[in-house]
Structure formats: structure tokens, C-alpha cells
Structure 1
Amino acid sequence: MSVRTILRHAAAAAALGLAIGGASAQVKPSNEPEDFLRAPPKPSTLKGHFSLVAIGDLLYSHPYAQSPDPELQKVLAITRAGDVTIGNREGMFFDLGTFKGTGYGNGMLWSEAAIGPDMKAMGVDMVSMANNHSTDWGGEGLRESARLLDEAGIVHAGSGPNQRSARAAAILTTPQGRIALVSTASTFKPNAGADDAFEGVPQRTGISILRTRAIHLVDADQLARVKWLATRLASPLAPAPAADATEVTLDDTIYRLSDRPGLHYDMDLYDHAALLKAVREAKDKADLVVFTIHAHESPTGVDDDTPQPPDFLIRLFHDAVDAGADMILGGGPHSLRGVEIYKGKVVLYGMGAFFLNGEIKALQETAFAEWPDATGHAPPPAPPERSVRKGGNPKSWYDGMVATTEFVDGRAKTVRLYPLDLGNTYDRARRGIPHLADPANARRILADLQRFSAPFGTKIAIEGSVGVIRLP
């Protein structure tokens, strides 16, 4: 039985008020996102001048804050200068020698315990913990990393011992007001979501997740071919589609008739509503609300070099602003995406990476996997790779930015975009480390950002090596 079939049966049982196991079902919270959009949110109550520095993925494993590299220190001077600096902590960190948990899956990012105080020394005040590497080390890794963040004095959102805490905003008090951070991820590993206790099942440590499903939009001829194949492969568990069906599921892939072929994403209604509820509740408690998501989804299905955001992100970000968010930070792909000013709020669709220098650990089952070649025997050993991963990283991963937004009495007035060069080189001492881009590279990156932002009507002026957006 497929995962989709199992979930369908479980959902049907829940709808009938049944529970698989015998207990009665609990009342489900709202699954209508519009419930949190009907009334306008209160305006930001932040007082005076305030600067918020946004950075991308903090994907690094060993301390750099005290590095003698003068070019790195120029970047850190910017992150330290803000009133609040926010980034995405990708990969968990702890003392591997004393860690009581274990790893899960392939490509497990790990960082030493000193990363907590190191991020603080870089000027980082708040981080999202929700991403596709959050549960590489299970709930134990999340809990230990959260403990170390608390110890370092860094406020974190997007993870917790249960869903309630993972969804809720984390709040930092500053002289200008209270800053709330609501974080989630739409790209995540199996069983990554935090859960509250339910029907006798204990709560589970995890992250705030937004479940999505990809819908392949196809024309009539393409849908007819899918119907033909689905009919040929039909079984009692997967009946043949109706002759007039406009949507067909084949091998867990959904195809829907459309006059605009492409890739569309549906958001789970409960997750969508719960996130807007978290934003609205954050606005009631804080003076400024920041919403972040880690999303590798794209309109092409490929997350690298795809500057256009997927359709669900545009809707989600607009909804988050309408629910009360004052700033949006998108991430996931290590490539940059454009900037939108929506109802006076700054929406950064893709921040890219800030560091790209993580240490990847492997399980024994991964290291000892071997498949035969055409002769039926082990293939000859591959030559050693000079890159951090087989085939190398895309060039676009090494373009980054720091975005500094200046607020006056809660209203965004100026956004400055500082292009970064993360060192696309085989030199491991340089690769993945942020430097301010040289003038030629800065203009290239800013020209890309102008092009990526143009569909949203955003004007980015290039002033020297800095992009500037001025709001009325």
C-alpha cells in the first residue's frame, strides 16, 4: 500500500470521527486560512529607528567569528551593526563525542558545539531552526542544539518538543520593541514535523512544517495519455480514472488538466491556517513580526538556478503579510531570488547562503553501499573529488547577499542589498566563506536581483556595489 493510500485512509477515518486504534478523534483546529485574514492586523508598534539585518543559510561547522580573514570581517561588521540580525541555522550542532542520539539518513550536516557562541559573536540574534537538515540527528540533535542556542543567548524559532512550541513565535526584546520570529519549512525529511500528544500518542520533538503536494498541470492530450496508462495499470487499490476525470493520480503523482501547463503546489489547509494563526498571535504579542520559510520547491521542480518562486510561496507570503508579518525571509535553494514590496512590507524570496562550509557525516549504511556495474561486479573506484559534493556545487550557490532594512516607527524605509562572494574555488580555505563581492561581481549579482525582482515591480538602484530600495 502506498504512503498516499495510507494517508487517504487515515484522513477518511478522522473525517468519520474514528481513530485507527479505537479512541475517539479530537476536535481539529481551523483548516480555513481565511479565518486569520478577515480582520486587518494591527500596524507595527516598533518605535524610532531600527535596523534589521537578514542573512541566508548559516551552513558552517567550525568557528569563524574570530577569523583573521579581513574580507570576512568586513561582512561581519555589517551583521554586527544591525539592531537585530536574523538567519537560518542549517544543520544541528553539538559535541559528537558526548552526544546521546544517532544520525538518520544520508548527508547529515554536523557542526561542533562552539557554533552557538560563534554565531552570537558574528552578531546573530535570532535564527530559524526549521529546514531540511533539522532532523539529521533526530529529536536529540534538535534538543541539544536548542539548548546550546539558549546558552549562547540566541533566540530561535521553528522547532520544539511539540507542534505548539515549534509553530509559536520566538520573541526578542530590544530597546525599540519586541521582535517576533515565526519559522517553518516546506522541504523536510520524513518524520521531521513536531507533533502534540494526540489520541494517546506522546508528543514528538521536531520542526514546524508546511506540507505541500505538487500538481503537474497538463494539457488535454497529455492527460489522455496519463489516463490510458493509469487504466492499464489499474487495480482494486488504484481504480481506473473516470472517463471525464480532470485530475488523475498515477504512482503517487498528480496530473491536473489546465490551459497553462507547469507545476502547481497545493498547501495543506491545516498547516497553512496554523501558520497564519501563529503570525496573527505573534502580532498581538510583539511590535514587529518576521516570517521565514525554508522551501526548496520551485516552478520547475529543480531548486538550483530557479529564480522564480513557486506559486504557493507568493500566496503564502502575501497571506503572512495580511495576517500581520512585517517582513518575509525566504530560503532553501542556495541561489538568490527576487525582492517584492507587498503592501509596504519587504518580501525577500530567496536569501541564498551566508556560509556554505558545512561538514557532512555519513552513516555506515551509506558509506558501505555498493551497486554492481554492467559486469555484475564492483565498478572501479572513482577519482577523488575536489569539490564538496560529487559533480560540484552550482556556481549560483556562491552568490549571496546581506539585506539591511531600516525601519522608522515600524515602517520599512530603505533596504540595502550587499552582494556576497562565497568563494567558488577549489581552495578549501576560501570556499564557502562570505566576502563582499568585488565591484564587477557586485554589479553582476545586483543586475540579477534587478531582473529577478522586476516581475514584482520592484526597483533596485545600484549605488556603487550596493543595491538600494527606497520605500515611500
Structure 2
Amino acid sequence: MASPKLTWNIALAGECMAARPFSVHDDEESMRVINLLRGADLTYAHLEMNLAHSRELEYPNRGDWLGSFMMADPAVARDLKWAGIDIMSVAHNHSLDFGPAGMLATKKHLQEAGVEAAGTGLDLEEAREPAYLETRHGRVALISTTSGNKPNEWASLGKGGYKGRPGINPLRASFNYVLTKEAAEQMKAIARELDVLRQADGSTMGTGLKDNEFSFQMPGDQSTRGSNVFTAGDHFEIQSRCHPRDLAGNLRSIDEAKKMADLVIVAHHYNIADGKRREKVPTFVREFAHAAIDAGADIYVAHGWHWTLGIEIYKGKPIIYGTGNFFAQSEFIRRVPYDSYESWGHDMDRLPTLNPADHPLHPGLDTHNEAWWTSALMGLEMKDGQFVSMTLHPVEMGRTAREGTITRQTGQGDHALTDGRPLLATGETAERALGRIQRLSKNFGTEVTIENGVGVIRF
């Protein structure tokens, strides 16, 4: 029997670094965003935060880490539900900031609040399985995966009498650095002098290198395959591709979801790039996005760089390569662990006197980045499994776009803190937020028109 023909109105929100309860803000301006979330048949967002009480945790799971240790009050989960969010991806590079205890507590608090979550689990099978949401409109499936995590964060399967490892659903990526022949010979010569050259030699170390490839056996990388594979060519380029086993495993989950649900969303978090983070979507991300749609996904939505990227319509399905932030409140994390103070260069002999108000402790906040503080709430219409249209409502989190002037400040210290809640943007800030998506979407042949302060894509 064929599946029913359905029309969906879906709200897609970006990365929620929500560290403070926010349902107290029920004024008219705040409710404009909330009503857009509540008014959809389905509302999705990505949770870039862990939620737990201190008593549920053991210890931080990272050492030298120039990033925030993402942990907030579980009351945030209730407010996310209050805002109208139905389902969230939770696989990201912060999922294991506080180990399996923090990861599992996050999922528990979301589900207790009535928000379904996907992307983490007690083992790889659970982390990779779709989350299902029953709605009056139909059954929804969400697959959540992440790229760029450390090996100890990858969930695994049980074997040899051992349990599988709790963790995230990984989509690993491999990188090949193409060099000119002259540069390749120079690098090999340097590596020989340092005695770190690694080439295909048939050894039991299992380098996985082909005859035309080489890499470095760096001192801190003695017992791993390494990821710095170089190839001689006629130009300079970084090439990335999906790990074949992870790709196949995630495509199997998508196939299951297609057979078991009326709408399939694939969420992909990636914090790595083909070089520095710019505006170019990594090759492996486009590879996965297209493969996900080919396997049966209706929507592919990505995040991880904390700024918006382009939108592509592929085979009648939407691909959003970067949602940007929706909440930006990492400055308000109440309990910051030892490792963070050390990593950010604070005087550890003064540790008892240090506190979360000290600066710096969090990335992305030293210099203004307008893409960090602006994005768009996306309203998506799907009919009969095909994309019809998308609206892009520009949002700001408390700063003007061009200058970075704080318009909504919290606190009275020398280092001004930005409120970080999403409100609908207006004026130049709205124009710049939409103009960025418009410009980057052209790279994928997608036309974004601006109509009455709202971006519109029609198919």
C-alpha cells in the first residue's frame, strides 16, 4: 500500500547553545519567534548543549580544550518544549564533554520534557537508530550524526564479551592533501630527516596507504593510522570523503526510517572543514548530503560552524548546509571545570579565586563575527514528499550584524555579555543575515528572493 500523500509545514531552527531558561520572556517581541516555532506541524532544532544536574555527573571528559564545556540546567529542556520544539539532534562535538553520564542525562531530560532526541546512545546501534515522533500529521523519523569527534567519543558495538561503548553516531571523514610534485618531495625529505615519514610498506601497522601516498608518524600519533595523507599531483588541494563504513551504516538507518516513517530528517553536525572554516562546504559533507537524499531522506540539515551556509535543492529535496546559531549563550554556563581555565591561560595557582565570569573562557567571543549572532528560522513546506517552498525569517541574538554592537546586554561587568536569545531581526541586521544566505545559496543554483523582510525559496 502506498504511503499517504502529505503536506508538511516544518520549522527548522539552528544550533541551540541555550544555557538559561527563557520561558519567562512572553512579551510580544519574544513571542513572535516562539509562535513561528509553535505554528508548524513539526519543529526541529539542534541542541548544542548538555543538560544535567551536578549530582548526575562524574567529571569532565576532556583535557586541553579551547572550547566551552557545554552544560546547562535541565529546566532548559522544559523551555525548549514550551517553545514548540518537538524533536532535536544531540550528536555533536560537545556530546561527551561530561562523558557518558552527561550525554545520557541530556537525552533523559529532553525525553522527560516531551522532546524526542537522536544521535547518541549506550552503543552504536542505539546511537545510530532513528528517533521516531508520532504526530497528528504523520510519523517523523530523525537520524543524527556528527563528524569531527575524538575516537573515544565514537559509539561502538559489543564484542568479545565487552559491552559496546556509549557515545555519538559518527560519520568520520578522511582527508587527502594533494601537493605539487616538487612540494611533495620537499616534505618527504623533511620527514626523512625527522624520521617521521610513513609510506606504504606492507607492515602490520596497517597504515592503509596506497603506493602514491605518504603521511607522517608524529610522536603523539604512534599507535594510530593517522589522518594526514599526502599525494603528489599538479596542484594544491584538500580532498575529503566519508568513511565508507560510517556512510553505509547511516544510510542503512535512513533506509529503515524511510520504510517506517512518513517524513525523514537527517541532521549532520560537522565542526571540520577542507582547510580553515570559510564559506565552502566540505566535499565529504556534500557527498553525504546527496547520498542521504538518494537513500530516502526528505530533508538534510547541517550545522556545526555556528554560521549559516548555502541551501541546495537536490532531486526535489532541501539540503541546508549550515543553519547557524539559534541560541548563543555559552557565556552563561554556570559551572566551568578546571581544564577550561587552564586551556584559556588563566593562573592556575589562583584557581580557588577564578569563576565563570572570568574572561576568556569561551571561543567565538573575543572578536566580532556577525554570522555567529545572526541566522534565520526556516519555514519549510513539503508536499507529496517534494519541496515546495521555504521562508527564511532573519533572527538576531542580541547584536547588530555589521558593527557587533550589543543591543541586549546581560550583566554589568567590563566584559559585556550578550543576551543570546533569538528575536526576529530588522533593518540592516536582517538584510545582512538574509543577504549572506542568498549569496551562498547561489553557489548551488538556489535563488533566494527577499519579500517584505523575509527570504523566500520556491521550487
Contact 1:439–1:464 (Cα < 8 Å) also in 2: no
Which stretch of structure 1 is more off in the superposition, 328-337 or 412-421? 412-421
Residue of structure 1 in register with 2:386 after alignment:
411
Q: Which residue of 1 aligns with 2:129?
A: 168
Looking at structure 2, the residues matched to 372 and 445 of structure 1 have their Cα atoms a distance apart, in angstroms, of: 35
Gaps of 5+ in 1: 1-41
Q: Which residue of 1 aligns with 2:222?
A: none
The structural deviation recorded for 1:385 is: 4.2
**2-structure distance, mates of 1:100, 1:47:** 46
> Is residue 2:350 matched to residue 1:364?
no
What whole-Å deviation, never above 9, does each CA across 1:120-167 have from its counterpart, x for those lacking one?
Answer: 001100000100110111111111111111111111110111110110
Offset, 1:349: 0.4
Among 430, 449, 456, which residue is 2:437 paired with?
449
2:25 pairs with one of 53, 67, 78: 67
2:453 maps to what in 1? Answer: 465
C-alpha separation in 2, matches of 1:461 and 1:152: 37
SS of residue paired to 1:65 = coil
Could you say what the CA RMSD is over the residues aligned between the two structures, in angstroms?
2.8
Cα 1:101–1:415 shift into 2, 3 Å: same
1:246 aligns with 2:203: no
Q: CA deviation at 1:371?
A: 7.5
Q: Which residue of 2 aligns with 1:421?
A: 396
Task: Give per-residue Cα distances to partners, 1:325-360, cap 9 Å, x unaligned.
Answer: 000101000011000000000000000010011344
Partner of residue 179 from structure 1, selected from 123, 140, 154: 140
Which one is further off, 444-453 or 131-140? 444-453
1:16-69, CA deviations, whole angstroms, 9 ceiling, x for partnerless residues? xxxxxxxxxxxxxxxxxxxxxxxxxx99x4544321111111111111133145
Partners of 1:436 and 1:387 lie apart in 2 by 28
Q: Secondary structure of the equivalent of 1:180?
A: strand
Are 2:254 and 2:296, in contact at CA under 8 Å, matched by a contact in 1?
A: yes
SS state at 2:455 partner: strand
Count of residues in correspondence between the two structures: 417
Q: Residue 14 of structure 1 aligns with which residue?
A: none
Paired residues of 2:198 and 2:214 also in contact (CA < 8 A): no
* Residue 27 (structure 1) aligns with: none
- Three-state SS of the structure 2 residue aligned to 1:109 is coil
Instruction: Please tell me whether the aligned partners of residues 93 and 112 of structure 1 are also in contact (alpha carbons under 8 angstroms).
Output: yes
Query: What is the DSSP-based 3-state SS (H/G/I as helix, E as strand, rest coil) of the residue aligned with 2:22?
Result: coil
Q: CA deviation at 1:449?
A: 1.2
Residue 322 of structure 1, aligned match among 294, 301, 314: 294
Structure 1 residue 212: Cα displacement: 1.4
Flag the 1:406–1:400 CA change in 2: closer, same or farther, 3 A. same
Tell me if 1:103 matches 2:64.
no
2:329 and 2:115 map into 1 onto residues whose CA distance is: 21
Shift in Å, 1:266: 2.8
CA contact (8 A) 2:88 2:115 kept: yes
What is the match of residue 11 of structure 1? none
Superposition deviation, residue 73 in structure 1: 1.9
C-alpha distance in 2 between matches for 1:89 and 1:357: 12
CA distance in 1, matches of 2:382, 2:246: 30
Q: Give the alignment of 1:222-237 within 5 angstroms.
A: 222-234=183-195
Report the AA paired with residue 95 of structure 1: H
Helix, strand or coil at the partner of 2:170: coil
Measure, in 1, the Cα distance between the counterparts of 2:327 and 2:190: 46
Q: CA shift at 1:386, angstroms?
A: 8.2
Q: Percent identity?
A: 30
Whether 1:402 aligns to 2:377 is yes
Residue identity opposite 1:75 in structure 2? V
Q: TM-score, normalised by structure 2?
A: 0.84
User: Is the 2:15–2:48 contact (alpha carbons within 8 Å) kept by the matching residues of 1?
Assistant: yes
2:25 match: secondary structure: coil
Moved more, 87-96 or 245-254: 245-254
Distance 1:173 1:160 in 2: 21
Report the Cα distance in structure 1 between the residues aligned to 2:338 and 2:195, rounded to whole angstroms: 39
Letter in 2 for 1:248: F
Q: CA deviation at 1:258?
A: 3.5
Q: CA deviation at 1:302?
A: 2.4
Task: State the match for 2:221 in structure 1.
Answer: none
Q: Residues of 1 paired with 2:120 and 2:200: CA distance?
A: 41
Shift of 1:222: 1.4
Cα–Cα, structure 1 residues 104 and 69, in superposed 2: closer, same or farther, change >3 Å? farther
Q: Which residue of 2 aligns with 1:352?
A: 324
For residues 79 and 190 of structure 1, the distance between their equivalents in structure 2, rounded to whole angstroms, comes to 36
How far off its partner does 1:265 sit? Answer: 1.4
Give 1:245 deviation, angstroms.
5.4
Amino acid paired to 2:180: D
Q: Where does residue 302 of structure 1 map in the other structure? A: 276
Structural mapping, 1:383-398, within 5 Å: 385=359, 389=363, 391-392=366-367, 394-398=369-373
Distance in 2, matches of 1:357 and 1:258, equals: 45
- Aligned position for 1:285: 260
Alignment of 1:21-100 (within 5 A): 45=3, 47-96=5-54, 98-100=55-57
Distance 2:61 2:377 in 1: 32
Structure 2, gaps ≥5 residues long:
203-209, 219-225, 400-404, 411-417
Q: 1:214 to 1:117 in 2, by over 3 A?
A: same
Tell me how far apart the structure 2 counterparts of residues 302 and 431 of structure 1 sit (CA, whole Å): 28
8 Å contact kept, 1:46–1:410: no
Cα distance in 1 for partners of 2:264, 2:200 equals 48
1:170-229 deviations in Å (ceiling 9; x for gaps): 111112211110010002244111122112221222110111122222222211211211
> How many angstroms does 1:100 deviate by?
4.0
Corresponding residue for residue 152 of structure 1:
113
Q: CA offset at residue 420 of structure 1?
A: 1.2
User: Secondary structure at 2:432's aligned position in 1?
Assistant: helix
Q: Which residue of 1 aligns with 2:414?
A: none
